Each structure stands twice: as C-alpha cells, then as structure tokens.
A and B are shown apart, each in its own frame.
Chain A
Amino acid sequence: MKKLFIGAIMTIGTFISTIGLSLADELLVPHMTYRVGPYAANGTMVANGFTDYFLMLNERDGGIGGVKVNPEECETGYKAQVGVECYESYRGKNALVHTPNSTGITLQILQKAPEDGVPILTMGYGLSAAAKGETFPWAFNYPASYWSQMTSILSYIDSQSGLKGKKIGFLYLDVGYGREPIPVLEELGPKMGFETLYVPVAGKEMQNQSSHWLTIRKEKPDWVIMWGWGAMNPTAIKEAAKTRFPLDRFIGNWWSGAHVDTEALGSKAKGYLASSYTTTGTSFPAIQDMIKYVVEPGKSKTKIDMPGKVLYNRAMFNAVLIAEAIMEAQKMTGKKMVTGADVRLGLENVKLDAARLKELGLEGFTAPLIGGCADHENGGSIFVQQWDGSDWIRQTDLIPPMTDVVQPLLTAAAAKYVSDKSGWQTQTCK
C-alpha cells in the first residue's frame, strides 16, 4: 500500500512537472480581445488575425526560434476595468508583451508596465505621447500615433481642397480614444487657418446619430473626419448619406474604415474615405500560409472569408511585429526563452525593411518599419483608401505625418504626463 501511494505521488509529480515544463517552454503572448459585447464585430476580426499568425508560425515553423508561441486571449468586452483584470492575471507568468487593443485599457495599465517589466505594444492606438521612447521606454505605438495620423489626414485634405478658411467637422467617439487627437486640431487649426467643429458621440448613442448629423448639416463643414469604432462607423456613414453630406468629403481614421463598417451598407457607402497603413487582400504569401496552415484545416475560429479584410490583415501585422521583436530578442540575448525586458529591446531593434517584408511574404503590405530607442512610433505614413461599393481601394501613395508639428507636441505631452509622477522610469538614447 505504501509503495502504491509513493508510486501514485511520483506519477502525479511527473505529470505536474511535465505540464509545468510544457507551459514554461512556450512564448506567452497575451492578447486582450473582445469577441463579445457591443464592439464584438470589430474585436472578433482583430482577435482572429492576431492569433492566426502565431498559430501559423507554430504549424509552419514550429514557433519562433523553435519555441511554440501561446497567443493567449483574455476577453475584455472592450471594458477598461476588465482589461486591467486581464493585465493583472498575467503578473508573474513571463508574459512577453501586452496588446490591450483599447486606448482606454492602455491608459490604465501604462504606469504598470515599467514595474512589471513587460512592454505594451499599442499598434495604431493608445497614448500618442508614448511615441517618445526616452520618456516611455516600455510603451510602443508603431507604426504611427494618432497625432501623426491626424496630420497625415489633414495633409490629404489640404492636397484635395486646401485647408485655409475651411471648416472641418470632427466626429468622434466620446472616450479616451476619440478625444486623443484633439490637441493636434487645436494646435493646427489656427496655424493652418481652418476652423474645427467638434461633434462628440457618446458610446451609448453610437447607433443614434441623427442629431449629430443635423448639427453637421446646420454648421455645414467642408469635410468631416471621423474617429469612430464599432457600430458608430456604419451608423455615421448612413446618417451622412441621409443628410446628403458628400461621402467623398467624409474621411475616417484607420479604425473607421474596415469591411465590417461598410460591407453591410454596400453601395450606400460608396465614396467614403478612410486612412490605413496596411493593405487588404489575400495575395500575400504570409496570408496564404495562414489560410493553408490554420484557417482551412479549421485550427482557428476564423471563417474562410475573413482573411484579407482590413482588420484581419492589420491585426496580423501586429502579430508580425511582435514575432519579429521576439526573434530579435532571441538573437540579441542568445536565449530561446526570452523575457518581457528582452522583447522590449527587440521592439526597439526591430527591422522590418522592404527586404525583410518580402522575406516574410508581405512585400508592399505596409511601409517599412525600423524600430528605435527614442522613436517608438516610427513616424509612420498612411495612405487613403476609398470604398467602391464592394471593397476598399487604395487611392494615394504614402502620406507622411507633419513631423515638425507632431514632434514638439509629443515632447510636451510626454513631459506633462510624467511631470506629476515621481520616480517615473525613463531612458537615455544615443
């Protein structure tokens, strides 16, 4: 009996240690998702694109550097407090990087990153000032901050109709995300000679925008820029058409121009513009591999028609950047099992130039992205795409941001952010 007992204990011990080893031998990449709730339509696409890329790497290459990746999802419902709970649940688990997928959540966890030694990558969202790598060593918003994006959009409008003497409507979701670019408009309005009409849309009113568009009709702006998300986007496009606002003078940011926003509207959204930094379509070898190794064999939650769409492809690129940072970290440290601190270095040294993008099967997919210590946004450029009634069609070359305007604003905002935070960890870049 005693032998049996010892045998049982040893078996259980071996089992537990095997599981422990197998868990320890994974690269843990937590991913805060929202497959449920009012923003689920967008969140599902983002979650699938992100996860599928890592699953493809596991299937095709055996992971990164021979170690499998665990892209573990934590459901937030796009709620900041739940996002914080997700973040806390990964403490002590050697998470390599956090991707909150929400500016609201980002603002809540930004201060925790230096304490925990895990970087936060907010690709195309988050706090714009986090672009200043010397002030925010642990936060990254590659490939461009909201502020840079806003200046690129204004450049586009300027190139189309001129900005001087114009009235620009700014229709935004009235949360941290939507309010983020307001300082740029306040700064550039007087300088470039345009007036801004601010039209906030409360989250609970996003499907009920008739009065917002009546205000726009009353004030007659020449252009409307939208910082929307979820059901706010299709509703706004419908209301714009209803109030006879020309859709080719209505431009969304990169979160307001996805297939989920326009497909259900079809030809009713024809002419609507949006910015983007990633290309649509499935012709890229990397995406073909995701379909081949993951989607078609049914190893993910992705339906076969999802790859190639705006949000799926963009989330895939988010995963590409993380994978490259992990690979870079492995190279720099000589370790296969890297830590969050190593991946932070990897993010600063990532080199996604044209040659590397081609090697990855993403030639022409996006602008080259070269990481840096001081510049955590890479000063990325955007292009403008237009809905033709059935798909998004690229309209412009890359439009660079107004660096001379954005950089001083970012520097001032970064200094202001840390001014009341004693002991804030900074870094000096050569």
Chain B
Amino acid sequence: MEILYAIFIAPFVEMGAYPDLFIQALWDGFVAGTLYGLIALGFVLIFKASGVFNFSQPILVVLAALSLVSFYQMGVPAWISVILVLIMFYALAWLVERLILRQLVNQDGNILFMSTIGLTFIIIGAAQWIFGGVPSAMIVDELGFPNGSLEWPMFGGGVYFEMIDVSAAVIAVIMIVILAVFFSKTKIGRGLRAVADDHQAALSVGISLNQIWVIVWFVAGIVALVTGIFWGARSDVSFALQIIGFKALPVLIIGGFTSIQGAIIGGLIIGLGEKIFEIYWGPLLGSGVEGWFAYVIALVFLLYRPQGLFGDKLIERV
C-alpha cells in the first residue's frame, strides 16, 4: 500500500505543495528539451540528405564551440569569430563532400556510417592537436546574449529563469521554424528529400548531389555551432561536450530520423519527461534515473513504433 501511495499519490501531492518547484522543473525540462532537439536536428539534416546516421555530429558541436572561443581568445571580435567559424564549416562541408561522400555515392548506408566514425576520429585528433585540452568559458556575454536571471516569486518560493536559457529556447525555436520552412518550401529542400530517397534517381532528374551535400553539411555545421554555444554556456567548452551530443539518439528514435518537427517534439518529451520523473519518482529508484529514462522511452518506441512519431515508415519488398 505504501509503495502504491509513493508512486501514485505522493508525487502529485508534492507538485501541489511546492508549485514553484514544479514550474521550475517544467521550465528546465523545456529548455533541456529544446536543446536536445537542437542536437537531434544536426543528425536529422544529414540523415535526410544522405540516409546516414552522422556519428560525427557531436564532435562537430565540440569543434564549433572550441573554434569560436579560440578565435575570440586570439583577439578576433566575437561576431567576426562566428563568421570565421561559419567559413570554416563551409570549407569542412566542401572537404567532406570531396574527400568522403563523392567517393561513396550509391554505397551501402553502413559504409557511409563508418566513414562518419572515421571523420569523428580525424576531427578529435586534429582538434586536440590544435586546441589542446584546457576548457574555456563560452563567450556568451561577448556575443551580446543577456546575462543574469529573472526571479518570479511565488507561493513562498520562486522560479528562476536564466537569461541564457531563455535565449537558447528562443533561438532554438526560431532555427527549427526556419529549417522546417527551408526544407519543405524551397527547391533545395525538395532536392534534399529526393537525394535522401535515391541517389541515382535524384541525379537522373538533374539534382546536383554534390551541391546538396555541401549545403546540408554546412547547415548541420550551423546547427552544431548554435548547439555548442548554448551547451557550452551551461557547462564549459571542452571535449566533454561530445557526450551530450549522443543524447540525441533517443530523441531521434522518438521523433523519427527524418523529421525536423520530430526532433523538437522528441527533445521535449525527453527533456520534460526526464526532469519530472527524476525529481518526483527518481528517489523511489535510488535517483540517477535521468541516465536511463530517455533510453527506456526510446526502447518502447522501438518496440511499438520503430519509425518514431514523425519518421517515414520503411517498407521493404522481399
């Protein structure tokens, strides 16, 4: 009886007794969810264009954040540093297309996947060599993002909104809307979907595979930069950022590997779900449930809806 009370009654009593904490949890979950969605977006873009799970997306986040901070530390003004990082990512996209993707047209998806693993290790080695291992602070103030926090007193407690979190949520939502429109309404976006379906068919109707790949890797680089700025602001700018990148995996499974809106919905499900579950039900399970909660949800989806909420259902003729 006690255990039933602890599961079904006590958490809701606590939510009612301390509404400020509940609202704080919802806000933190929302911010984390949008940031998870942002990470997942980088994977979705490349999966849509080439049908490959880009293993190197997390290290692109690290590379973007480290480059931005390093340019700034070298004396380059903050926004000029952003532009330099974007130029660098365009060059990287071009190199990836020339040296890897072009050589692997029409190859099996697993081969492309393996190539992104190789790319990951090349970037890790190069970034370690160039930037070293010392962590840095993200230059959010220098980029003009608002600092400090807002406090909303309520019920004898308070809800705190960090301004950088507000900025992260707003920018993540704007980016997702822009990308959704770009890929559904523009010629390039439609071309990208055609490329994802079949390389040869896309080529036969005059779509430039090479151009599409450069564009999509560049856009994934932009997403990596935004992700790196906001995750770097929450912790520090170091190689540890790549760990958080893989949090996108359950988000992708829930939202679907090919859906931009799926990335954000999946991110919010995970972000909100894990915060609420950790705080109100976590103590029953010895805490630390956040580490596996997302994967359990993903497992349920794999069992009952493997294509995710918005993903394309894969039908293969035998």
Contacts and interface: CB of A to CB of B under 8 A. Distances in A.
Interface of A: 35-41, 43-45, 174, 198-208, 210-212, 214-215, 217-218, 230-231, 234-235, 238, 242-244, 260, 264-266, 303
Given A201-B288, A264-B135, A264-B137, A231 B275 contact: no
Nearest to B288: A200
Contacts of A211: 25, 28, 274-275, 278-279, 282, 290
Contacts of A37: 239
B133 interface: yes
Interface residues of B, number: 46
Contacts of A260: 134-135
Interface string B222-237: 0000000001001111
A206 to B, nearest CB: 7
A207 B28 contact: no
Interface stretch (B102-110, B173-181, B242-250): B242-250
Contact of B133 (A41, A201, A243): A41
A266 B14 CA distance: 36
Contacts of B291: 174, 200, 202, 204-205
A207 B65 CA distance: 15
Given A38-B242, A242-B149, A207 B25 contact: no
A25 to B, nearest CB: 32
A210 B275 contact: yes
B241 interface: yes
Contacts of B237: 264
A245 to B, nearest CB: 12
A210 to B, nearest CB: 4
B139 to A, nearest CB: 11
Given A38-B242, A207-B235, A215-B282, 4 more contacts: A36-B125, A41-B133, A235-B234, A238-B234
A212 B287 CA distance: 9
Contact of A204 (B24, B124, B238, B246): B246
Contacts of B241: 207, 231
B32 A208 contact: yes
Contacts of A218: 14, 18, 21, 279
Of B14, B18, B31, B239, which is in contact with the most chain A CB atoms at under 10 Å from its CB?
A: B239
Contact of A212 (B149, B244, B290): B290
Nearest to B231: A207
A371 B149 CA distance: 52
Interface of B: 14, 18, 21, 24-25, 28, 31-32, 124-125, 128, 132-137, 149, 160, 162, 231, 234-244, 246-247, 274-275, 278-279, 282-283, 286-288, 290-292
Nearest to B128: A36
A43 B231 CA distance: 22
B239 A234 contact: no
Nearest to A309: B134
The 3 closest A-B pairs by CB, nearest first: A202-B291, A231-B240, A40-B133
A231 to B, nearest CB: 4
Contacts of B125: 36
Contacts of A40: 128, 133, 238-239
Contacts of A199: 287-288
A221 to B, nearest CB: 13
B235 A41 contact: no
B137 A243 contact: no
A37 to B, nearest CB: 6
Contact of B137 (A174, A212, A265): A265
B134 A207 contact: no
Contact of B24 (A44, A45, A198, A214): A214
B283 to A, nearest CB: 7
A260 B18 CA distance: 36
A238 B278 CA distance: 19
Contacts of B133: 35-36, 40-41, 43-44
Contacts of A206: 235, 240, 243
A198 B137 CA distance: 29
A404 B32 CA distance: 46
B136 A264 contact: yes
A242 B137 contact: no
Contacts of B278: 211-212, 214-215
23 contacts: A36-B125, A38-B242, A39-B240, A40-B239, A44-B134, A174-B288, A204-B247, A204-B291, A206-B235, A207-B234, A214-B275, A215-B278, A215-B279, A215-B283, A218-B18, A231-B238, A231-B241, A234-B135, A234-B235, A235-B235, A238-B235, A244-B160, A266-B137
Contacts of A265: 137, 236
A204 B135 contact: no
Contacts of A205: 290-291
A270 to B, nearest CB: 15
Contacts of A174: 288, 291
A231 B236 CA distance: 7
B240 A207 contact: yes
A265 B235 CA distance: 9
A203 B247 CA distance: 12
A210 B28 contact: yes
Nearest to B69: A264
A211 B292 CA distance: 13
Of A43, A45, A207, A265, which is in contact with the most chain B CB atoms at under 10 Å from its CB?
A: A207
B240 A41 contact: yes
B235 A231 contact: yes
B186 to A, nearest CB: 34
Contacts of A198: 286-287
Contacts of A36: 124-125, 128, 133, 239
A356 B62 CA distance: 45
Of A203, A215, A238, A265, which is in contact with the most chain B CB atoms at under 10 Å from its CB?
A: A215
Given A40-B239, A204-B246, A215 B287 contact: yes
A128 to B, nearest CB: 22
